[in-house]
């Protein structure tokens, strides 16, 4: 593209090699865990080129006006197709191009028009020597606006020096407008409840869905969190099976056909039974409308100029790539005679139909294609190939390659019209590009544009369950790291200088390391740290922690990802280093940063209290298991001293113990078990649990009784008695107390989980009625 790069950018590029910019970009993408999951593959890092696509104000203004007009046109067209259908009755649009497209949802038609059919429109355009040309419309559930936001955030940091000086339109106001636009759509005017419906954390664009939800401040929900009752949609809320909060507006990222297993695809597990019924009644606004997929139909392209004149009384501003629909005799004969010069596309994919470049086909393949078109002409179009403008991207070797650019623009319905994102998602070959539109940001933001963490609205059982496991794995990783470091230090002390006491202490600690982590006896220390497939290992806990965090990404801050990203990296280092203790310290550093974020950066909402409660249970269980595994069998006095010291280190209580200057096992046990002031003691955890439980809504269901059992057992414990050696020569009372506490705590966690977010029953089809007889 013949755009002039902002001088600041040119200057920066003169100073910095492109390969360096690309490396920084990759690192920042990894730090923030910005990912994408290609269909059928594993999640992978988002591919972003450091060089933005610059667009001059004038070129942008032309495109912006065209994109806004197009969104309005498609909205009006959809309103007609699901309402009076005048475009069909008057012959403006052939019935076949509309009803022959699978995106037309018959059940979506409604006598009373809806306020909006189209809320968020994506338009794919290229810049040709003749100007902007539309390649296609993305109006089913367009993705990419969130990635555009992420691109800007990363590129602004990579090119910070250039970004500061350049006058570039900001993206933030668009997302503020999106939020306002959604609020406008609520059937009832006061305080709208809005949710973003997601196919789930395994969706291709899960990253951006979470980003959008947290940027907009709306909860991200799975279909299983919604239900239809009394003709309207409700969100299940934590706090008992029956607790429901009404939903007014659904911004959906689930394709329409999957949205309602009752009236649409019956095999869908991504939908809400009765959603179409509620939408028909008008009690909920769903955007984009469930019928909007029909407007993605490239067969409509030849008819849009006439539609613009009829529906908007304006000429179509943004031309599409020249397209012929085969459902018309003239279009069909043009396509069939020019097969070699056209892209031939089905109006909708599926059933073995796909887009082909006619030029690339053999004569036999062309004949076969022609036969398919003849058999089902309405299902095909031919489109003139476009010559898109190119832009340089940084190649793997650091050189610059020119790649053709497709730009996806976004328009959102607000204030009675459509507002366009100043920029968009540019794709140049395999990488995305940020888009820099010159000019000052016009309007002042109406709401603060700081990204929010967590979202308003009730805590859903699904999110609660994920927070539960997040807290559990975070604490487990931290306790495990401390324990293994304490053991590793003793190992370093006595491995090469054998002495009876040291050797005995090391044996006790090594056994404890596997007992406490519930790993097989004799598992090497190295595996306990790095084996990601070994349940109980540190790597396993960290891996699970990251996985669960991804599922509740919208609840977590960007900084959390920074910490989690580093954590995985230092754990990888631990596999190769000889300084195990040092590596474990760095892992611990990351986990402490995470705990610090939880303590200092999260509002005390029910989700926080739930996570905190789980951490407390996990910590108390760990201490109980550690004491049971290490302090019940008396050994050589010197060895016992070494073990006690290691246990105090593992329980982060050594300094307190020394400061108190009380020696003896009873003092150690008091510090670890009953002391209400030691934030590492079991007693302290129990006090916190009582506070947390009071702030997590839901039916009691035995939660309080389970907590009372823990408290009751604790109250009966006397450290001096526990330290005594019993008739069998071991500290049997201590062992019984620790094991009892462990099972009381496990029971408590189980009851808490069961009452707060037990999963619902799965969805299945009602056996269909067989048609038979009569003959």
Partner 1 sequence: MNTYRITHRTTYGYDDEVGESFGRAHLLPRDRPGQTCLDAQVTVTPRPAELREHTDWFGNRATYFAVIEDHRRLSVLAESTVAVDERPPPATTPPWETVRDRLRGATDPLLLDARGYALPSPRLPVHAEVAAYARASFPAGRPVADAALDLCGRIHRDFRYASGSSTVGSTVPELLARGSGVCQDFAHLAVAGLRAMGLAARYVSGYLETTPPPGRPRAVGADASHAWASVCTGADWLDLDPTNDRLTDATYVELAHGRDYADVAPLKGVIFADAGEGVMEVAVDMIRVDRG
- Altogether, the residues listed in the chain come to a count of 775
Pair 318, 147: CB distance under 8 Å: no
Specify the DSSP class assigned to residue 731. -
Binding residue (CB under 8 A) for partner 1 from 262, 636, 638, 739: 262
Residue 326 or 673 with smaller CB distance to partner 1? 326
Q: Which stretch binds partner 1 (CB under 8 A): 97-105, 137-145, 359-367, 450-458?
A: 97-105
Q: Which stretch binds partner 1 (CB under 8 A): 52-60, 63-71, 83-91, 150-158?
A: 83-91
Asked whether the bond before 288 is cis by omega within 30 degrees of 0, the reply is yes
**# of chain residues touching partner 1 (CB under 8 A):** 46
Measured distance CA(559)–CA(194) in Å, rounded: 26
Residue 109 or 569 with smaller CB distance to partner 1? 109
Binding residue (CB under 8 A) for partner 1 from 38, 521, 637, 775: 775
Residue 8 or 96 with smaller CB distance to partner 1? 96
Pair 419, 68: CB distance under 8 Å: yes
Least spacing, CB of residue 762 vs partner 1, in Å: 7
Least spacing, CB of residue 382 vs partner 1, in Å: 19
Q: Which of residues 265-324 bind partner 1 (CB under 8 A)?
A: 266, 273-274, 277, 280
Pair 586, 570: CB distance under 8 Å: yes
Nearest to 349 by CA among 325, 381, 321: 381
Q: Is 461 in the site for partner 1 (CB under 8 A)?
A: no
Q: Is 112 in the site for partner 1 (CB under 8 A)?
A: no
Least spacing, CB of residue 340 vs partner 1, in Å: 25
What b/e sequence results for 555-577 when a residue is b if at least 16 CB atoms lie within 10 Å of its CB, and e otherwise? bbbebbbbbbbbbbebbeebeee
Least spacing, CB of residue 351 vs partner 1, in Å: 6
Residue 189 or 375 with smaller CB distance to partner 1? 375
Measured distance CA(526)–CA(192) in Å, rounded: 54
Least spacing, CB of residue 304 vs partner 1, in Å: 19
Q: Is 495 in the site for partner 1 (CB under 8 A)?
A: no
Nearest to 221 by CA among 241, 205, 243, 198: 198
Binding residue (CB under 8 A) for partner 1 from 65, 131, 230, 535: 230
What b/e sequence results for 130-160 when a residue is b if at least 16 CB atoms lie within 10 Å of its CB, and e otherwise? eebbbbbbbbbbbbbbbbbbbbbbbbbebbe
Least spacing, CB of residue 367 vs partner 1, in Å: 15
Binding residue (CB under 8 A) for partner 1 from 62, 84, 113, 229: 229
Binding residue (CB under 8 A) for partner 1 from 4, 10, 109, 758: 109
Pair 423, 171: CB distance under 8 Å: yes
Residue 351 or 456 with smaller CB distance to partner 1? 351
Measure CA of the first residue to CA of the last residue in the chain; give whole Å. Answer: 70
Residue 330 or 691 with smaller CB distance to partner 1? 330
Q: Is 91 in the site for partner 1 (CB under 8 A)?
A: yes
Q: Is 430 in the site for partner 1 (CB under 8 A)?
A: no
Q: Which stretch binds partner 1 (CB under 8 A): 106-114, 195-203, 243-251, 730-738?
A: 106-114
Q: How many CA atoms lie within 13 A of 602 on its CB side?
A: 25
Residue 179 or 378 with smaller CB distance to partner 1? 378
Q: Is 764 in the site for partner 1 (CB under 8 A)?
A: yes
- Look-up of token digits 């209290």: 609
Least spacing, CB of residue 98 vs partner 1, in Å: 9
Measured distance CA(682)–CA(734) in Å, rounded: 14
Measured distance CA(525)–CA(581) in Å, rounded: 11
Residue 229 or 309 with smaller CB distance to partner 1? 229
Binding residue (CB under 8 A) for partner 1 from 43, 376, 489, 666: 376
Q: Is 370 in the site for partner 1 (CB under 8 A)?
A: no
What tokens appear for 198 in the block? 């997601």
What tokens appear for 549 in the block? 């965090």
Q: Which stretch binds partner 1 (CB under 8 A): 99-107, 585-593, 645-653, 661-669?
A: 99-107
Least spacing, CB of residue 263 vs partner 1, in Å: 6
User: Which residues fall within 8 angstroms of residue 671, CB to CB, at 6 or more apart?
Assistant: 648, 653, 656, 657, 660, 678, 681
Q: Which of residues 744-763 bind partner 1 (CB under 8 A)?
A: 760-763
Binding residue (CB under 8 A) for partner 1 from 88, 317, 638, 725: 88
Binding residue (CB under 8 A) for partner 1 from 137, 184, 263, 466: 263
Q: Is 767 in the site for partner 1 (CB under 8 A)?
A: yes
H-helix segments, 95-205: 95-99, 145-158, 160-165, 172-184
Measured distance CA(32)–CA(336) in Å, rounded: 50
Residue 187 or 451 with smaller CB distance to partner 1? 187
Measured distance CA(212)–CA(261) in Å, rounded: 26
What does 50-80 look like in DSSP terms, one character per residue?
Answer: SS-EEE-HHHHHHHHHHHHHHHHHHHHHHHH
Measured distance CA(483)–CA(516) in Å, rounded: 9
Pair 682, 620: CB distance under 8 Å: yes
Residue 330 or 577 with smaller CB distance to partner 1? 330
Angle at 99 between CA 267 and CA 310, to 5 degrees: 135
Least spacing, CB of residue 767 vs partner 1, in Å: 5
Residue 104 or 561 with smaller CB distance to partner 1? 104
Least spacing, CB of residue 297 vs partner 1, in Å: 13
What does 259-279 look like in DSSP terms, one character per residue?
Answer: S-TTTS-TT-SSS-TTHHHHH
Q: Is 766 in the site for partner 1 (CB under 8 A)?
A: yes
Q: Is 89 in the site for partner 1 (CB under 8 A)?
A: yes
Binding residue (CB under 8 A) for partner 1 from 18, 50, 261, 606: 261
Q: Is 107 in the site for partner 1 (CB under 8 A)?
A: yes
Measured distance CA(148)–CA(571) in Å, rounded: 31
Quick note: the x/- pattern for partner 1 over 189-228, rule CB under 8 A, is: --------------------------------------xx
User: Which residues fall within 8 angstroms of residue 309, CB to CB, at 6 or more apart?
Assistant: 315, 316
Q: Is 363 in the site for partner 1 (CB under 8 A)?
A: no
* Phi-psi sector, 97: left (phi>0), alpha (psi -120 to 50), beta: alpha
Binding residue (CB under 8 A) for partner 1 from 6, 100, 181, 536: 100
Least spacing, CB of residue 768 vs partner 1, in Å: 5
Least spacing, CB of residue 227 vs partner 1, in Å: 8
Residue 31 or 328 with smaller CB distance to partner 1? 328
What tokens appear for 361 in the block? 């086909």
Q: Which stretch binds partner 1 (CB under 8 A): 98-106, 435-443, 509-517, 690-698?
A: 98-106
Least spacing, CB of residue 352 vs partner 1, in Å: 10
Q: Is 243 in the site for partner 1 (CB under 8 A)?
A: no
Measured distance CA(730)–CA(444) in Å, rounded: 73
What tokens appear for 559 in the block? 């900084």
Pair 621, 745: CB distance under 8 Å: yes
Binding residue (CB under 8 A) for partner 1 from 62, 314, 351, 365: 351
Q: Specify the DSSP element, H or E, that contains 195.
A: strand 194-198
- Residues interacting with partner 1, by CB under 8 A? 88-91, 94-96, 99-100, 102, 106-107, 109, 227-231, 261-263, 266, 273-274, 277, 280, 351, 375-376, 378, 760-775
């Amino acid at each position: 593209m013949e755009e002039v790069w902002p001088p600041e950018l040119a200057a920066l590029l003169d100073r910095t090699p492109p390969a360096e910019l690309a490396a920084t970009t990759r690192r920042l993408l990894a730090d923030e865990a910005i990912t994408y999951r290609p269909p059928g593959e594993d999640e992978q890092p988002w591919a972003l080129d450091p060089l933005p696509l610059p667009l001059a104000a004038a070129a942008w203004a032309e495109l912006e006006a065209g994109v806004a007009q197009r969104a309005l046109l498609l909205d009006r067209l959809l309103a007609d197709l699901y309402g009076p259908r005048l475009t069909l009755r008057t012959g403006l649009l052939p019935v076949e191009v509309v009803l022959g497209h699978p995106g037309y949802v018959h059940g979506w038609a409604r006598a009373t028009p809806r306020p909006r059919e189209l809320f968020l429109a994506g338009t794919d355009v290229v810049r040709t020597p003749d100007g902007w040309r539309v390649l296609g419309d993305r109006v089913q559930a367009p993705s990419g606006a969130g990635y555009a936001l992420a691109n800007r955030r990363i590129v602004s940091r990579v090119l910070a020096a250039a970004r500061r000086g350049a006058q570039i339109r900001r993206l933030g106001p668009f997302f503020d407008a999106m939020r306002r636009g959604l609020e406008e759509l609520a059937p009832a005017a006061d305080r709208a409840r809005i949710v973003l419906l997601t196919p789930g954390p395994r969706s291709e664009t899960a990253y951006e869905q979470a980003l959008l939800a947290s940027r907009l401040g709306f909860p991200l929900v799975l279909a299983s969190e919604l239900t239809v009752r009394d003709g309207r949609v409700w969100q299940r809320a934590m706090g008992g099976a029956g607790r429901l909060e009404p939903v007014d507006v659904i911004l959906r990222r689930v394709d329409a056909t999957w949205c309602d297993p009752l009236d649409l695809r019956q095999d869908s597990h991504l939908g809400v039974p009765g959603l179409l019924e509620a939408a028909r009644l008008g009690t909920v606004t769903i955007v984009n409308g469930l019928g909007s997929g029909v407007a993605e139909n490239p067969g409509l392209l030849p008819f849009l100029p006439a539609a613009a004149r009829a529906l908007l009384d304006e000429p179509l501003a943004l031309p599409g790539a020249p397209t012929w629909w085969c459902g018309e005799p003239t279009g069909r004969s043009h396509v069939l005679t020019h097969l070699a010069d056209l892209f031939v596309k089905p109006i909708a994919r599926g059933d073995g139909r796909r887009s082909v470049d006619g030029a690339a086909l053999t004569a036999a393949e062309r004949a076969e294609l022609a036969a398919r078109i003849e058999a089902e002409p309405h299902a095909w179009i031919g489109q003139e190939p476009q010559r898109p403008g190119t832009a340089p991207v940084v190649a793997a070797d650091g050189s610059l390659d020119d790649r053709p650019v497709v730009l996806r623009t976004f328009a959102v319905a607000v204030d009675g019209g459509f507002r366009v994102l100043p920029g968009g998602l540019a794709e140049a070959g395999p990488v995305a590009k940020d888009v820099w539109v010159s000019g000052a940001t016009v309007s002042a933001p109406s709401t603060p544009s700081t990204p929010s963490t967590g979202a308003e609205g009730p805590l859903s059982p699904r999110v609660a369950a994920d927070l539960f496991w997040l807290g559990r794995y975070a604490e487990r990783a931290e306790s495990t790291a401390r324990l293994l470091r304490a053991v590793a230090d003793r190992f370093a002390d006595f491995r090469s200088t054998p002495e009876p006491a040291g050797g005995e202490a090391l044996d006790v600690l090594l056994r404890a390391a596997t007992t406490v982590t519930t790993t097989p006896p004799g598992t090497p220390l190295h595996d306990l740290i790095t084996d990601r497939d070994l349940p109980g290992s540190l790597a396993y806990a960290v891996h699970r922690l990251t996985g669960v965090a991804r599922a509740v990404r919208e609840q977590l801050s960007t900084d959390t990802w920074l910490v989690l990203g580093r954590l995985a990296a230092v754990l990888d280092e631990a596999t190769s280093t000889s300084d195990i203790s040092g590596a474990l310290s760095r892992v611990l550093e990351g986990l402490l940063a995470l705990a610090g974020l939880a303590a200092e950066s999260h509002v005390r909402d029910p989700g926080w209290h739930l996570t905190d409660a789980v951490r407390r249970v996990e910590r108390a269980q760990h201490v109980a298991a550690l004491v049971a595994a290490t302090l019940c069998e008396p050994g050589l006095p010197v060895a016992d001293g070494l073990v006690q010291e290691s246990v105090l280190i593992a329980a982060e209580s050594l300094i307190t113990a020394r400061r108190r200057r009380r020696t003896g096992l009873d003092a150690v046990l008091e510090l670890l078990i009953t002391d209400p002031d030691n934030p590492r003691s079991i007693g302290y955890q129990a006090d916190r649990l009582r506070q947390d439980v009071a702030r997590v809504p839901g039916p009691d269901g035995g939660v309080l009784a389970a907590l009372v059992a823990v408290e009751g057992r604790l109250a009966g414990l006397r450290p001096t008695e526990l330290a005594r050696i019993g008739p069998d020569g071991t500290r049997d009372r201590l062992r019984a107390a620790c094991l009892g506490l462990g099972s009381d705590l496990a029971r408590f966690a189980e009851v808490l989980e069961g009452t707060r977010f037990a999963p619902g029953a799965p969805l299945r089809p009602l056996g269909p009625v067989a048609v038979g007889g009569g003959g």
